[in-house]
Each structure stands twice: as structure tokens, then as C-alpha cells.
Structure 1
Amino acid sequence: MPEPTPMDGLTIPHFVLVPLPAQGHTIPMVDIAHLLAERGVTVTFVTTPVNAARIRKVIDRAEAAGLPIGFLELRFPCAEAGLPEGCENVDLLPSLELTPAFFRACGLLREPLLDRLREPHQPPASCIVSDMWHLWTQGVADELGVPRLIFHGTGCFPLLCMRNIRSSILFDEVNDDTKPLMVPGLPHRIEITKGQSPFFRQDPESERLWNEMLTADEACHGVVVNSFHEMESLYIEGYQKAIGKKAWAIGPVCLYNKNEDVSVKAVRGNKSSDDGLQCLAWLDSVAPRSVVYASFGSVAYISPSQHVEIGEGLKASNHPFVWVIKPREQSPALEQWLAEGFVESTEGRGFVIRGWAPQVAILSHSAVGGFVTHCGWNSCLEAICAGVPVLTWPFFAEQFLNERLMVSVLGIGVAAGVNTRTMLMGDEIMVKREAVEESVRKLMDGGEEGEERRKRTKELGEKARKAMEVAGSSYQNMTDLIQEVSLHNVKVRSKMGREA
């Protein structure tokens, strides 16, 4: 454990973390809570009963280790917001149409959170670290008289791209959603289509949400970024200049538990399925760097017909594979196809996980040599930390921008050829089996191009680990963040004393 950050006589700060109840947003916030607590900071992690149950083993381990993390469970107001009971996480929503109701429910947590933070036994909050989607937490910070820091859950490359796309007249004037356009104001040449651009002007509701987020950004004290200077220094600097505020790059935060055993990594974010735990044992029998791991995150839905194409492509590639199918993607038709020959024909070479996969533990295994990913920011960082090159298959949000970073800037990825943004797949097949096979073969290629890609990924992973070590760039940024919050509170108390 790192030495606690010297406070130089300052009161130990109290960070209140408010993650979005979505796995891709909650998991890194849990990691941040541990990183802060290991530096001697008091942390309150705001959650709900269903979400707390998912990370129960993590909570128990933090308590057993005596870390100063309090997990504050607030009742999630499903009924008041018009949600079915128990829909406390984005991946539990039965329909995307309920997304507005889900965000309404999140907003209703404002008063209960304020009440709990004002309880006499609670140490005074020093700051609120809030997910970007929780616009209402600015009001909480204002009521408490503390700074609000935004956690975006992605890197500065996509954040800067999104801001520049928004302000580009060129994107406004083009009506063709499929025409590649260059993102202005970047040190690298990056092209993306208007149809792939996240949060672009599409409808009044999207426009309203974007404007509200920009307003909240302007009011915040700064930004916490799960990234590291050595990977995107030019974009960190460019983003800070664009927003006129400090962005503390403190990642990759998934490395907080790099020395933990496999059993700890296996429960990161949720309880692993039986398939997931058996998979780790199966990987022990497979040759190093030979396995393709295919997983597409916790939110995007892949249809049975597209799953068949993925499965056939993986099989035809002749590489061993681990393939994750989410519970809500399982269907009688897909199970029938799996049972009618696929499982038998790939026995010993393929492993299908139905349920939550212990992704960090899988990627860290020496048998894994490539990762087919939806390009969520966490998955990209986890691949980099494990030194595993990626096959990019983006769906929505900033994932197409993450793909450009992995493929065009860092040179550690191969594009699967997905051209259209989509949240939910219908029966349409986005990538056919032949293209899956071809791109997997390219990813796993042992020739000069493939070896160079693996070398770059490994070197970047080493830089990530050094950034998190004592005296590393991310370690120092965490020190600066803690001291910034501590000094801010000293100044506020001093001012209040003078005014009194």
C-alpha cells in the first residue's frame, strides 16, 4: 500500500463519490475510492441496495482492510420515477424508453443525499466527485459549500474531439451522416462521420441534455480523468485549455489492485458467473498469446443473428477463443444454434461465458493475445494495462472516437469495420462472419505488423504501470488533487472566519 499523502497539518479531506449506476461508470469509481483511501483520505461512496449487492465482496474486503471508505446506500426511487422496482442500474432497464425515467430517479437522490451528508456523525464533505450525468450534484455541492469535480468516465482524446465537433461549422453544414469529416483542432488527423459522432445535434432532447452538461461543466471546479499523461499528453493539455480548468489524470485506475490475486480481480464490478470462473481454469491449459477474448460491454445489445455471425467468424479463424454472451442476449434461438453443433465443433478450442465475465483477470492471463471489444473506455484501458491489442467494434457514445485513438493514434488496434452508431441491434447484421474471421486473423497475425502492434501495446502497458507507481505521473496527480481539495477547504474556512 502506498504511503498516505502528507497533509502538512491539514485536516484529512472527505471525498464524496457519486457514480452513475452503470457498470462502466461505477467500476472505475470504486477503484478511485480505493486509491483515495489508500492515501489516507476519507471516502463516502454513494450507491443503492441493488448496486451495493453487486460489489458486496469489494465492500467487505475494504472493511476488513480497515480502509476509510463508507458505502452509503440510498433507496433508489423507482416507483416515484415510473420505473419497475429493482431497476437500479442501466443494464437492468427492460427498455431504452425508460432511460429518462432512470435519470429522473437519479435526480431524486439529491435531498436524501444532502440529508445523510448533514447527519451529525458524518465528517464534513470536502468535495463531491460526481459522474458527468449527475447534473443535480452541482446543487448538492453548492448547498454544502464545497467544490464539485466531474468524473467523465472517458479520456481527454474523446472529450476534446466531442467539444471540437460540437463547435465545428463543417459538421453543422453537412447533411450526409456517412461522409468522413476531419475533426478540427487536433494534433493528429482524425476523421469520423457525423452519424458516428456522439451527442451531436439530433433532436431537442439531446440538445437540451448537452447544453445542461456544458453548463454544469462550466460551474465545476475541475475534472477527474481515468487516463495517464504518457498516453494522451497532447489531448490532456488541449482539453484543459478548452475548458479552462484543471483535468487530473489519475489512471488507469484499474491498476489499483494489480498485486491482488485472481479471486479478487474476478469479483471486480460484479459476481462472476460460474462460466467466468471456469474459464480462468480453462485458460491455464491454452498456449500463451493464442486466445481471442470477445466481449462487448454491459449495455449494448447484440441480436441472435449477429451473435451467430460472431460465433462462426471466431470458429473459422481457427484461434482459441473466449466469447461472452450477456444474460439479456440469451434466447431460445441462440441457445438452439449453440447446441446444434457449435459448442461441439469448437470443444477444447472455444469457451462461451453466459453472464458476467471477470474481464481484468481474463485479459491479464498469459494465454490471451487479442481482445474483440466495444471500445468502452474501461475496456480499452484494461487491454492496454494487460498489453493485449484490440479488435475494435464500437456501438455508441464516444466509442467510435475511442476506436480512432486505439487504431489511428496509438496503433494498437484493428478495426472490425462497424460504420454505424447503434444502441440496440435489431436483426440487422453489422459485421458478417467473413469479416469477423478476417479481422480476427489480422489481429492475431504473427507477422511483422502484428508483432509491432503487440510491441506498442506492451510498451504502453508498461508506461501505464509506471504512471501509477510512487512518483509516477498519475500518482503525483492524485497527490495534487488531494492537496488542491484540502487547500480549497482551508481557504473557504478562513474566509468564513473573517466574515464572521
Structure 2
Amino acid sequence: MRSTFPPYASSDAVWGITKEAPTAMAPPIRSSISKLPDEGNPSRRTASTPLFAPALAAAMVSDRRQLHIFFFPFMAAGHTLPVVDMAKLFARRGVRATILTTPADALSVAASLNRASEAGHPVETLLVEIPPAEAGVPEKLADTKSAGAQMDFLMSTARLRDPFERLLREHRPDAVVSDMFFPWSGEVAEELGVPRLIFHGTSFFSLSLSDALFHHPPPESSAGEEGGLYAVPGLPHRIEVDRSQIPDFRQQKPEFAEVFVKMKQAEKICFGVVVNSFYELEPEYADHYRNAMGMKAWHVGPVSLCNDDDGDRSARGAGAGAGVVDPDNCLSWLASKEPSSVVYVCFGSVCRFTAAQLREIALGLEASGHPFIWVVRDPAGKGDPSSEQWLPEGFEERTAGTGMVIRGWAPQILLLNHEAVGGFVTHCGWNSCLEGVTAGLPMVAWPMFADQFYNERLLVQVLGVGVSMGGEKRYTLREDERPLVGAEEVARAVKVLMGGGGEEMRRRARELREAARAAMREGGSSYGDMGRLIEELLGRQTTPVHAGD
């Protein structure tokens, strides 16, 4: 039997999604969005009403002992940044929020937390360090240089168990929100009588598909057969995935596969799950996850909307990587472009490409004829991202007036929300997907691993706000194993995204943007779910029995 595990189960671009019943699929999201009240068609850049009412929210807990929650993210930008945003949102609701993080990862969130403190909603920080057991293991995922090193880093985080237990005993919080990659944190929390909430960092859609594949993996392929569609059972829609896109963990180290088994086991003892999503985005899968799967879950997103001015957006993630760009230079460049004319291209903090693939991306962007901002990491982790060896000869000179290449980190949500940006080429990491949605942008989906293939289907086929990158796409953590996507495919996708044919996607994207903001305002679905979680945790406030005391 083929072994599949939730965080890395993925799908092919040729998925088929239809209703189990022989009736045509009428996406529930479209009908619910279309009924949103008209708010005067506000600009994408300015909410029509305040997203949060922190003073009123804080009063919810004023008559009881202040609720204290630990937030313990995995040391990768795609996990740390949304958890920090979540902690800031809880702090605005009167909760005492404490982030547990390593010294290296703390640098990437310091500016954001400083601004929260200055605004009167401080988030505390407690530092933990991975005990040095193996030489060469970095302190955060972004510093790894290969797929093997990423797996070694994941395994190394188990050594945080003892420091985590000491902090839990010392500070005795009312609850802990910890990353899915820390299944041992659930064992410690249960032993000490502290409710543990899991943060997966993905959508209800992805969680539902991943769980279905975990319990109903496809049978092993015949000799010489790699692909073939597999209809995943037990979901709201008929969903077919290509077998070649589902990772086979029999090829991984046994101890690595064991981590994912432990993650599933940890779900059985957790208090519940917090999801960075909003109900209106994926209602059928939110209901499926809670009802059919029997999981307690609260949707509290999009959490990035807590960064509600340009200062917050610039500070978010500053210091997360080398080569930090000056946000003002980016804004000045964008100010010279026509509204919705620029395509923003970024593939997250972990995805890397070979030099050959980067050259194809460069040629494709140039051939598209559209202005672009392209955020680039060094090719395949080989060294200095400022090296130009991977760029086509004369590329930057030819695109000097129409293109900006950013090497390293960029203030993504600041740039996505600029009026000159009209589209987003993304690896389909869930944070990027949500940030594109909240900016009201259509997207080109180019998934590579993890939950990214699931997110592609959600964007393209269910929500109707994306177009798939052409060419063969295969699940792999190794950039040298990915089929080369040619410049012509890159240019084609960008032209579809930014051209006249993308008007329906842009309309849908604008609708989802308003739905996301409505969810986060007082009275919205995510605002309400966070309040219900706070009330439930407050209701548990008794003198806890801590094992071993």
C-alpha cells in the first residue's frame, strides 16, 4: 500500500472536480459572495470600515483573569509569519499572547512585534534554542540548502521538547497553539493539562484532501506505471489526483515517515485546530472538516489583514532573509506604472529553481510584454543571490524600464496591495494564496510540493481566480528533478492573467477580497469564530492540575 501523508500529499494540474451527484457543480462560494452588501465598491487598498474593534474586544475578558496563550510556530517564514499575525490578533482581543521562537527566527518578526507593542497590543517573546546535537543543522528552514537538509532540520526540532516543557511548566498558559510539525508538543501539553490547538498553516480544502489520502491512499502502481488518475473517496466533490503527484514516503527515511504518523496521532488528543481561512472562501470544506471528519476547528483568517497600514506591511517579515530591499524604492517604482499593469512574481521562502529554470522564467517575463516585479532566491541554494550567472545576457538592461528584480526578501503584502499590481505568479503556498485573495488579485498557479497542488485546484477550479502554469508539473522537493517549464509557457500564463481574457478572474478576485475583509470585521465569520474560541478557553479557566507537581 502506498503511504501518503497530509502535509505533502499533492495533486496534479489535471485534477477533475465534479459533484458526486449527476448534477452540474454550482460553486457555493460564488453565490454567497455575490450576495455581499454593496459597500460603494471601495478601492482594493482601503477598507470601508475598520477591520477590528480592539477596545470593545478587550472588554470581553476584562471581568476574568486575562487569558494567556502560547504560540509556537515552526521555524519557517510560511509558518512563523501567520502565527505571529494570529498572536497579534488575539492580543487585540485582550489576550496575553506569547510567541516561542528561536533567536534566529526572532529576527524576522522583531519589527512587526515592535509595531504591535507601540500600538498598545504587545506580544511577548520567549526564546528557545535547539540543543546542538548535530553539526551543521541551521536554526531555520530558509537557511537549508537542499531537500535532504530540510528533512534533517525537521527532525532536529524534536530536540525542542525539553525546553518547551520547561517553559510550559514555568509560565502555565491557559492554552498553546503549536505547529503541526511539533506533535510532541501535544503530548507535553496533555501531560500538563494545557489545551493544545494545532496550526497546520493551510486551508480546510487541503486538510480534507490530505486526510482522505492518508486514510485511503491509492494502491501501488503496476510495474513501469507512474501516473494515472485516482478518485479520492469521501469528499464533498469528486476529486481525481494523479498518482505521480502523491509522494511515496517509502522512499524516505523511516524516522521521517514516522513524524507524519505521529502528527495524525496528535490530532486525536488535541483540543482543536485553528485555520488561517474564512468560511466564505471554502464553506463546503469547512463543514466537511468539522462535521464529516469530526474535528473541532476555528477559522480566524486571513490573519495577514492585521497588518492594516503600510508600516505594518513593510515590517512583516523584514529580516526573514538576506538582501532586504528598501520598500520605498519598490513603491516609487510601482508609482510610475499604470494601475493593475504589473505582475508580481514570487515563489516563497523555501522553493528554489535551477539556474536553467530561472533563465526560462526571465525570458518568459520579458516575452510577456508586461511590467513585472520578480523576487528571486539564489538558484538551487548555490550561493550569493546577487550573482548574475543565471540571468540571460543583457536581460536587466533590456527590461530596465519594465522590470524590477528583487534578490532575497521583499515586503510581499505591501507590494501586492499597491494599485499598480494586477496579477500574482505564485508557488501556491497557502499564505501567498490568501495574500493574493486579500489583495483582490488573480493568480498564475505554479505548485511544486507540500499542499501547493491542492491550493492550485482551489484557486483555479473552485474559486475561479487563477490559471495554471503550463508544462509538466510533478511533486518533488528537489529542484533538479522538476521538468523544465519553458519561457513560452511562462509568457502564455502571464498574458492570460494580465490580458483581456482574465477579466472574469479579476472580478471574482475583487469579490473575494471584500468577503475576506468582511470576515475579519466585527460581526464577520472569522471575527466571531475567534471570539467563540476565546470564550471557550475562558470557560476552562480553573486551577490546572500539572502532572509532576
* TM-score, reference length from structure 2: 0.83
1:135-284 correspondence runs (5 A)? 135-168=183-216, 171-175=218-222, 176-197=225-246, 203=252, 204-205=254-255, 207-258=257-308, 260=309, 262-271=310-319, 273-274=324-325, 277-284=328-335
Report how far residue 486 of structure 1 moved: 1.3
1:474 to 504, 519, 526: 526
Residue 219 of structure 1 deviates from its aligned partner by 1.0
Query: Residues of 2 paired with 1:347 and 1:396: CA distance?
Result: 33
1:88 to 134, 139, 142: 139
Whole-angstrom distance in 1 between the partners of 2:169 and 2:255: 34
Secondary structure of the structure 1 residue equivalent to 2:94: coil
Residue type of the partner of 1:216?
A
What is the CA RMSD across the aligned residues, in angstroms?
A: 2.3
The aligned residue for residue 459 of structure 1 is 511
Question: What's the secondary structure of 1:108's corresponding residue?
Answer: helix
State the distance in 2 between where 1:250 and 1:377 align: 14
Look up the match of 1:112. 163
Query: Residue 42 in 1 paired to residue 92 in 2?
Result: no
Counterpart of 2:126 in structure 1 is 72
Q: Say if 2:345 is the partner of 1:298.
A: no
Shift of 1:54: 1.9
**1:370 aligned to 2:420?**
no
Q: Secondary structure at the match of 2:316?
A: coil
Name the CA distance, whole Å, in 1 between partners of 2:287 and 2:451. Answer: 19
Counterpart CA distance in 1 for 2:152 and 2:230 is: 35
- Give the stretch that moved more between structures: 430-439 or 385-394: 430-439
Counterpart of 2:181 in structure 1: which amino acid? W
Q: Tell me the distance in 2 between the aligned counterparts of 1:138 and 1:460.
A: 35
- 1:435 matched to 2:489? The reply is yes
- State the aligned residue count: 483
Say whether the 8 Å CA contact 1:157–1:405 is kept in structure 2: yes
For structure 1, the 5+ residue unaligned runs are none
| C-alpha spacing 1:316/1:238, structure 2 compared with 1 (3 Å) | same
User: Closer, same or farther in 2 for the Cα pair 1:191/1:35, shift >3 Å?
Assistant: same
Q: Does 1:488 align with 2:537?
A: no
**Within the alignment, does 1:28 sit opposite 2:82 as a pair?**
yes
Distance 2:247 2:335 in 1: 40
Paired residues of 2:324 and 2:410 also in contact (CA < 8 A): yes
Contact 2:375–2:407 (CA under 8 A) maintained in structure 1: yes
Match of 2:361, as an amino acid? I
CA displacement at 1:13 relative to structure 2: 1.2
Change beyond 3 A, Cα 1:363–1:125? same
Q: 1:105 Cα deviation (Å)?
A: 3.3
Per-residue Cα deviation, 1:414-438 (whole angstroms, up to 9, x for no partner): 0003420121212865210111111
1:273-330 deviations in whole A, cap 9, x for unaligned? 2265422220111011111111111111111100000000010010001111114466
SS in 1 for 2:422: strand
Q: 1:95 to 1:451 in 2, by over 3 A?
A: closer
C-alpha deviations, 1:15-69, integer Å up to 9, x for none? 0011000000000000001000000001110011111122221232233334242
Measure the CA separation in 1 of the matches of 2:262 and 2:236: 28
Cα distance change, pair 277–143 in 1 and its aligned pair in 2 (3 A): farther
Distance in 1, Cα, partners of 2:440 & 2:278: 15
Contact 1:154-1:225 within 8 A present in 2 as well: yes
The alpha-carbon distance between structure 1 residues 393 and 100, as it changes in their structure 2 partners (threshold 3 A), is: closer
Question: Once the two structures are aligned, what percentage of the paired residues are identical?
Answer: 45
The equivalent residue for 2:24 is none
Q: Alpha-carbon deviation of 1:208?
A: 2.2
**Distance in 2, Cα, partners of 1:483 & 1:458:** 33
Q: Which moved more, 1:325-334 or 1:106-115?
A: 325-334
**Is 1:11 aligned with 2:65?**
yes
Offset at residue 100 of structure 1 (A): 4.4
- Residues 199/129 of structure 1: CA separation in 2 closer, same or farther (3 Å cut): farther
The within-5 A match list for 1:350-365 is 350-365=403-418
**Structure 2: runs of 5+ lacking an equivalent:** 1-52
CA distance in 2 between counterparts of 1:425 and 1:371 reads 21
Matches within 5 A, 1:117-128: 117-119=168-170, 122=171, 124-128=172-176
Per-residue deviation at 1:188?
A: 3.0
Whole-angstrom distance in 1 between the partners of 2:232 and 2:368: 35
Q: Identify if the C-alpha distance between structure 1 residues 321 and 139 changes in structure 2 by more than 3 Å, giving closer, same or farther.
A: same
Partner SS state of residue 372, structure 1? strand
In the alignment, the residues of structure 1 paired with residue 83 and residue 386 of structure 2 have an alpha-carbon distance, to the nearest angstrom, of: 37
Q: Summarize the Cα distance change of 1:429–1:201 in structure 2 as closer, same or farther, 3 Å threshold.
A: closer
2:21 matched to which residue of 1?
none
Q: C-alpha distance in 2, partners of 1:101/1:429? A: 25
- How far the C-alpha of 1:173 sits from its partner, in A, is 4.5
Of 265, 269, 285, the match for 2:336? 285
- CA distance in 2 between counterparts of 1:251 and 1:185 reads 26
Shift of residue 199 of structure 1? 7.2
Q: Distance in 2 between matches of 1:352 and 1:130?
A: 35
CA distance in 2 between partners of 1:47 and 1:238 (Å):
33
For 1:413, the equivalent position in structure 2 comes to: 466
CA contact (8 A) 1:313 1:437 kept: yes
State the AA in 2 paired with 1:438: R
1:339 CA drift (Å): 7.4
Structure 1 residues 428 and 230, CA gap change in structure 2 (3 angstroms):
closer
Instruction: Rate the CA distance shift 1:402–1:369 in 2: closer, same or farther, 3 A.
Output: same
Compared CA separation, residues 109 and 336, structure 1 to 2 (3 A): closer
Give a deviation string over 1:103-141, Cα, whole Å, max 9, x none. Answer: 34322222223323433xx4x310111100001111321
The aligned residue for residue 423 of structure 1 is: 477
How far apart in 1 are the matches of 2:527 and 2:349?
29
